[in-house]
Amino acid sequence: MTKDPAARKSAPPLLWAFSTYFAEGLPYILIRSLSTFFFRASGVSLEATGLTSLYGLPWIVKFLWAPYLDCFGTKRSWLLITQGLLVCFFGLITLLTSWSWALPVIALLFFLAAILAASHDTAIDGFYLEALTIEEQARYVGYRVMAYRIAMMFGSGVIVTIGSRIGWLWAFGLASLVLGLLFVFHLSLLPRCEQAGESIRQLVARIFTLPFVLVTVLVSLTVAAFTIRYGNSPQLAAFPFSNLVGLLLLFSLLLLVPLRTRLMAGIRKRPDSIFARSFLSFIDRDRITVIILFIICLRVGEFMLSSMVGPLFIDAGLKEHYGWISGAVGLPCSIVGAMAGGWLIARKGLRKVIWPFLLAQNLTNLVYMLLAFHLLGYGTRIIGGVAADAATNILLTCGVVAFDNLAGGLGTAVLMTFLMGLCKGDFKAAHYAIGTGLMSVAGVYAGSFSGFLVEWFGYALFFGLSFVFSLPAMALISFLPWQEVEDAA
């Protein structure tokens, strides 16, 4: 980490690591989850409400513009620019919530805010990598996870409750206020520790490149979809657009692997090709195919599990207990797991702890299998003779949720540290964006097929099967190029 050239007072890393990742998590939960709740509560049709899934697309394709955040200005500048714009967008949404005619406009604002929020995430991740040493990155990873999860609980709990009981004006107003206070704090006390790239103004000359054309097309699609608020278009609502983009990223990287030597030689003759340089520098490393497969497989079992935990609670008659168990038991355990994981990785090194951490994360699937057998037998509905509201079953469920979140925190620490170890050179933000984009490929498809598997096999056998799907990632650990990534620990 370089020193602040202006020698200005700045917040300690522990504090700004927490505040920036809280600021990262809050817009995400507002756009991805609260927007769906808001539009449905406002009378929007199920078909149009289903189109809110398109809001997740910028997080999948953010690797398209991440290289420009690396090469123009500083990550701190981008962080503040996008954060300030998010405050304005949510402030405008707040003012429009009182008028039903403004719902299509609010839909557009949410999509534009999604693009800003995805860019905001990229800037924060890049700033974290630039501002901290490798040892500090591992040390504070637990605070990142803690802040992000608290922000998500704040958005899905406090903001939603205020919106549904008091009014959406107050809900979005509070969200805007919190983001505004964070913006003022970061503007004043975020350290200046980067060497600036080209001026951000020069980026205007490149405004019509492919990423921005893509954004324009997607904005037009979203506006058209939400303008017909009560339209009947389930086929469009179910169109797996973000899934398709994620697969395109995966296949593009795999196809470029055998050609990377020739392509890198050509790229060196054109130093102005920012996107190509960032994309190819990610795959220009030893055993890149193993790395890509490991990232994709790393959380398959976890994604399958998480997509069906909520339905398990409902079908086991525990719906009224889901909220308080997740908040009072799950959240503290996930924070403890993430902080313990970050501390142990910083102390022992990633290579020594990755296998036991991932084993603990994936054993959660078997623990849920035993719980499902106890509550439901082989079926998908509560069986006779099981009192789902009995104290014993609630205590068992609390124990399983506690272990799930504790082990999940360890796994999250592994994931973040591993991805940080892959970020190199002048494109750290872009490399991190590519890594998270690859990770999401498994998530969208694992969740899509989970419901069918539960219907076919029942919850218990499904959770056992999800453990089997987690084994390839653990098997690939021995084949990773540790010489390159072990310094991240």
Q: How far apart are CA 222 and CA 38, in angstroms?
A: 17
Q: Which residue has the tokens 């310094």?
A: 487
d(CA 184, CA 19): 11
Instruction: Give the pLDDT of the chain (489 residues) as one tens digit per residue.
Output: 444 444 467 888 889 999 999 999 999 989 987 887 888 778 776 556 666 767 877 887 787 788 888 888 888 999 999 999 999 999 999 999 888 788 888 888 998 999 999 999 999 998 998 888 877 887 888 788 888 888 887 887 788 888 878 888 999 999 999 999 999 999 998 998 767 666 666 665 555 454 555 555 555 555 545 444 434 433 334 444 455 555 555 555 555 555 555 555 555 555 556 666 777 777 777 788 888 889 888 888 888 887 788 778 878 877 777 767 877 888 888 888 888 888 888 888 888 899 999 999 999 999 999 999 888 876 556 554 444 457 788 888 899 999 998 998 888 888 888 888 888 767 787 888 888 877 776 666 666 677 778 888 888 899 999 999 999 999 999 888 876 665 544
DSSP 185-229: HHHHHS-------B-GGGGGGGTTSHHHHHHHHHHHHHHHHHHST
CB-based contact 349:485 (threshold 8 Å): no
Q: How many CB atoms lie within 10 A of CB 267?
A: 18
| Beta carbons of 325 and 468 less than 8 angstroms apart | no
Contact by Cβ (8 Å): 335, 409? yes
Residue with tokens 């002048």: 426
* Domains of the chain and any CATH numbers: 13-195+203-239 (1.20.1250.20), 294-488 (1.20.1250.20)
Rounded-to-integer distance, Cα 236 and Cα 238, Å: 5
pTM (two decimals): 0.72
Cα 29 from Cα 191, distance rounded (Å) = 27
| Cα separation, 434 vs 437, whole angstroms | 5
C-beta pairs of 172-180 under 8 Å, 24+ apart in sequence? 172/90, 172/93, 172/94, 172/97, 173/94, 175/26, 175/30, 175/90, 175/94, 176/87, 176/90, 176/91, 176/94, 178/26, 178/154, 179/23, 179/26, 179/27, 179/83, 179/86, 179/87, 179/90, 180/87, 180/91
Torsion of CA 254, 255, 259, 265, to 10 degrees: -80
Which of 471, 487, 24, 441 has its CA nearest to residue 250? Answer: 441
DSSP 3-state of 72: strand
Q: Taking a C-beta distance cutoff of 8 angstroms, is the pair 477, 358 a contact?
A: yes
The whole-angstrom separation of Cα 163 and Cα 124 is 28
- Six-digit token pair at 60? 């999948």
CB atoms within 10 A of CB 44: 23
Dump strand ranges (E) for 435-474. Answer: none
